[in-house]
């Protein structure tokens, strides 16, 4: 078995949607025909990278990141990480760590001075991020601008 960490492509959409269904099991899955135009937008966003863990042609993990230019800290960019997911059947095999290592390498290559993420998961998720070198140092805030029904089309 060969695992490769690589940038996602439109051919990975079905695998990504399956992972996201595991990540948010209460959501109605996004139909593939709705996913394609969203992916087209994601794929063209400057600084945006979705990585996948490809195990012999099957997507078993993913991480989504965006590098944002910054006018503070000497102009060094910031990376934000979101949607870190490994298939339940493949967890605790180092896949998440490899995905995060690839994202951190990309952040360094982009000149980022820090990588940030929010982790709403439980103790296992927090332990994972600590093992990846992250410190729990801030309190996160969010404000929903509108309710989103599970599976509702954006817009």
pLDDT band for 139, please (50, 70, 90 cuts). Answer: confident
The predicted pLDDT at position 149 comes to 59
For residue 119, give the DSSP letter: -
Is the model's pLDDT at 43 over the cut of 50?
Answer: yes
Rounded to whole angstroms, how far apart are CA atoms 128 and 140? Answer: 18
The predicted pLDDT at position 24 comes to 86
Q: Which CATH number fits domain 3-131: 2.60.40.420, 3.40.630.30, 3.30.450.20, 1.10.287.130?
A: 3.40.630.30
114: Cβ contacts below 8 Å, ≥ 6 apart: 78, 79
Domain ranges of the chain: 3-131
pLDDT band for 138, please (50, 70, 90 cuts). Answer: confident
| Cα→Cα distances 99→83, 147, 151, Å | 11, 31, 27
The answer to whether the pTM exceeds 0.85 is yes
Average predicted confidence (pLDDT) for the chain: 91
Determine whether 51 is exposed, middle or buried from the number of CB atoms within 10 Å of its CB (0-12, 13-18, 19+): buried
56 phi, psi to nearest 5 deg = 50, 45
For residue 153, give the DSSP letter: P
């Amino acid at each position: 078995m060969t695992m490769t960490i690589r940038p996602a492509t439109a051919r990975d959409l079905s695998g990504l949607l399956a992972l996201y269904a595991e990540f948010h099991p209460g959501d109605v899955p996004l139909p593939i025909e709705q996913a394609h135009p969203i992916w087209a937008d994601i794929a063209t966003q400057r600084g945006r990278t979705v990585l996948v863990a490809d195990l012999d042609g099957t997507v078993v993990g993913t991480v989504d990141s965006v590098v944002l230019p910054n006018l503070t800290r000497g102009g060094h960019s910031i990376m934000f990480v979101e949607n870190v997911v490994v298939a339940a059947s493949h967890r605790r095999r180092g896949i998440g760590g490899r995905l995060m290592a690839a994202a951190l390498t990309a952040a360094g290559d982009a000149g980022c001075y820090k990588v940030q993420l929010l982790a709403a998961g439980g103790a296992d998720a927090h332990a994972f991020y600590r093992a990846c070198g992250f410190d729990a140092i801030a309190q996160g805030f969010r404000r929903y601008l509108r309710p989103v029904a599970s599976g509702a089309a954006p817009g």
